[in-house]
Amino acid sequence: MGTVKLYEKNAYTIEFPARVKQQKQTPNGFEVVLDRTAFYPTGGGQPFDTGWLNDVPVIDVIESQDVIVHILKSRLESDTVSGRVDWKRRFDHMQQHSGQHLLSACFEKIAGAGTVGFHLGSQFVYIDLNKPGLTQHHMAQAEELANKVVFDNIPIKTYFVEPEDLAGLPLRKPPAVRENIRIVEIDGFDYSPCGGTHPEYTGGIGLIKIRRWEKNRDNTRIEFVCGERALEDYRNKNQGINSISSLLSVRDFEAAAAVEKIVSDNKSLLKTIGQLKEDLCKLQADALIQKTTAVDGIKIVKLLFDSRPFEELRMLASAIASQKGCIALLCTTGEKNQIIASRAEDINTDMRKPFNSAMSQIGGRGGGNNRVVQGGFADPGNAQLALDTVHQGILEALRGR
């Protein structure tokens, strides 16, 4: 004999007396079977209830061949129990699950899109629809219709039917079971075979809000929230938009446009800054080259910087090496210790050999081509040594040409 499922008759029964039929210890906890229960087991996309049996926490509920098994944290000390389902969690599941029925029905009616997947998690609720090309328009229509059915507050009925009665019902999907077929009917609007728990009227679902949707292979995945979760979502969004609009000193409905402007301003500022940096590097390169004495017609500009972004070092090196007869040898220490060496095109020497041998001396790494080489090393104390060694290597290479 299976367990009497109180949740099938009335989803609002959350306190109940029952008799313990079986109790055994397993690695998961204490498995308890009762003669009757209001605890819903994981199934049909709806997660299990939690709660208490005589104040012992119920941490999981599963169904096995019509028998409901409660997993408890510790042993029950009596043969009769008083059960209590955690209503907050259960009602949340009722709202999301019923909202799913309703939203699925609306997508079926509006876009001919069938529901092929449903996930009710602690954070996300989504359905997968078997149609890829849905638009914002479909979303708005389905959402509007679903909420109209909520606001109309029509009954949600549950009843059992015989297999032969199925043909007479406009079911949205075929039942997963062959007997004890339970129908959840949103009064004349939607008929679904389902064993889950639902409010008595659609008003109990509360607001239904689509949060986002995306194409997922040949399907469309719709993420949504219902009831309390929709309120929580609204609360968070309201808080977010209020703090953004107060930061930007605009009204909430102006925030998106204000942020768009900031993003575009920022883009052009970054472009200007990049241009200015390049100009600055060119001027700096000229000044540095002027100060440097040529040896055998070649000027080597050697400099050690403190915490200068490597991107700027690269710019400066390229500005120096863009002038005939010049070599840049620049290093920066800070968060990263990096070095770059770059030569003008008219100097015919391979920069890799002196660079690599200096790097191996100080335990650094790097590489490049015969004109520009760059690398990094761990110990900032090696910076001057790195510069001097590469410098020495370059001089030798130049002499040996």
- The residues binding Zn ion (CB under 5 A) are 194, 196
Residue with structure tokens 């638009």?
135
Burial of 291 per CB tally in 10 Å (0-12, 13-18, 19+): exposed
Check if the beta carbon of residue 337 is closer than 8 Å to that of residue 382: yes
Residue with structure tokens 């004999």?
1
Least distance to Zn ion, CB of residue 134, Å: 22
Does an H or E element contain 104, and which? helix 87-111
- Report DSSP state, residue 40: P
- Of 194 and 313, which has the nearer Cβ to Zn ion? 194
- Of 193 and 206, which has the nearer Cβ to Zn ion? 193
Least distance to Zn ion, CB of residue 42, Å: 13
Q: Which residue is nearest to Zn ion (CB)?
A: 194
- Of 11 and 347, which has the nearer Cβ to Zn ion? 11
Least distance to Zn ion, CB of residue 173, Å: 10
- Of 196 and 354, which has the nearer Cβ to Zn ion? 196
Q: Helix, strand, or coil here: 50? A: coil
Q: Which residues of 190-207 are buried (b: 16+ CB within 10 A; e: fewer)?
A: bbbbbbbbbbebbebbbb
CA atoms within 13 A on the CB side of 209: 14
Least distance to Zn ion, CB of residue 260, Å: 41
- Report DSSP state, residue 230: H
CA 235 – CA 212 distance, rounded (Å): 17
Least distance to Zn ion, CB of residue 231, Å: 22
CA 343 – CA 327 distance, rounded (Å): 4
- Of 196 and 204, which has the nearer Cβ to Zn ion? 196
- Of 194 and 317, which has the nearer Cβ to Zn ion? 194
Task: For residue 146, give the amino acid letter.
Answer: A
Least distance to Zn ion, CB of residue 224, Å: 15
CA 34 – CA 67 distance, rounded (Å): 9
Question: How far, CA to CA in Å, does 223 sit from each of 56, 126, 146, 369, 382?
Answer: 35, 4, 15, 51, 55
Check if the beta carbon of residue 69 is closer than 8 Å to that of residue 33: yes
Least distance to Zn ion, CB of residue 128, Å: 15
- Of 223 and 278, which has the nearer Cβ to Zn ion? 223
CA 102 – CA 150 distance, rounded (Å): 9
- Of 68 and 194, which has the nearer Cβ to Zn ion? 194
Least distance to Zn ion, CB of residue 100, Å: 7
